[in-house]
Amino acid sequence: GDSVTQMEGPVTLSEEAFLTINCTYTATGYPSLFWYVQYPGEGLQLLLKATKADDKGSNKGFEATYRKETTSFHLEKGSVQVSDSAVYFCALSDRRGAGGFKTIFGAGTRLFVKA
Amino acid sequence: DAGVIQSPRHEVTEMGQEVTLRCKPISGHNSLFWYRQTMMRGLELLIYFNNNVPIDDSGMPEDRFSAKMPNASFSTLKIQPSEPRDSAVYFCASSPNEKLFFGSGTQLSVL
């Protein structure tokens, strides 16, 4: 079945450091790929998405490129801020015909950014 | 729009009791998902509905768990009887397409 694997955390960085969180996937079809972010005490929120190979999703300085050849969707940000401290989830969504879309998530990677 | 509404926000119960979690999806969204989040297992998909019909319940851990969606504006997740290992945060999410909108979750503690 489909699965998502992302790097274990926590990741601890200083403010203005470069961020990479790795994500790889396995899927039988042609899924869309997502990054969601979860702040303490809240549900997940969509950060960015890409729907086909070589697409780049971007939002709030974060970027990720859909790499079909390496089945990867790594999250990057050039300069992190303290406010970026959160848990980041990689996800894939696969159409199930008339059954809508099934979305599964990786385990999540906690990011701490120090001032 | 009020977003996805889950209730209760916190639930503390004793082992063996029945627990019912509730979810009101965003109006117009045709898919609804129930997830469970724990430190050990991360975010697990329990079941999802499309147009009020259960499509995939392969993630439901055992027969103690059941979910219903009697109409487009309401869903329940029931655990009967509850066990301490069911303690987790349970999220409901709704979607009009591929993008999920999450509720704030229900923190369940089974003593």
pLDDT score of A101 = 83
pLDDT score of B98 = 87
Disruptive mutation site among A7, A48, A55, A105 for chain B (greatest number of B CBs within 10 Å): A105
pLDDT score of A96 = 73
pLDDT at A97 over 80: no
Residue A78 neighbours by CB under 8 Å, 6+ apart? A18, A61
pLDDT score of A9 = 86
CA-nearest residue to A44 within chain B is B102
How large a percentage of chain A has pLDDT more than 70?
97
pLDDT at B61 over 90: no
Under the banding of pLDDT at 50, 70 and 90, the label for residue A29 is confident
pLDDT score of B97 = 85
* Tokens representing residue B78 in the block: 């029931």
First to last CA, chain A: 41
The whole-number average pLDDT for the span A26-37 is 92
- Chain A residues whose beta carbon lies within 8 Å of the beta carbon of residue B45: 102-105
The whole-number average pLDDT for the span B72-76 is 96
pLDDT score of B1 = 62
pLDDT at A98 over 80: no
CA-nearest residue to B40 within chain A is A107
CA-nearest residue to A94 within chain B is B98
How large a percentage of chain A has pLDDT more than 90?
80
pLDDT at A71 over 80: yes
Q: What is chain B's mean pLDDT, rounded?
A: 94
pLDDT at A42 over 70: yes
- Chain B residues whose beta carbon lies within 8 Å of the beta carbon of residue A105: 35, 42-43, 45
- Chain B residues whose beta carbon lies within 8 Å of the beta carbon of residue A43: 4, 91, 93, 102-105
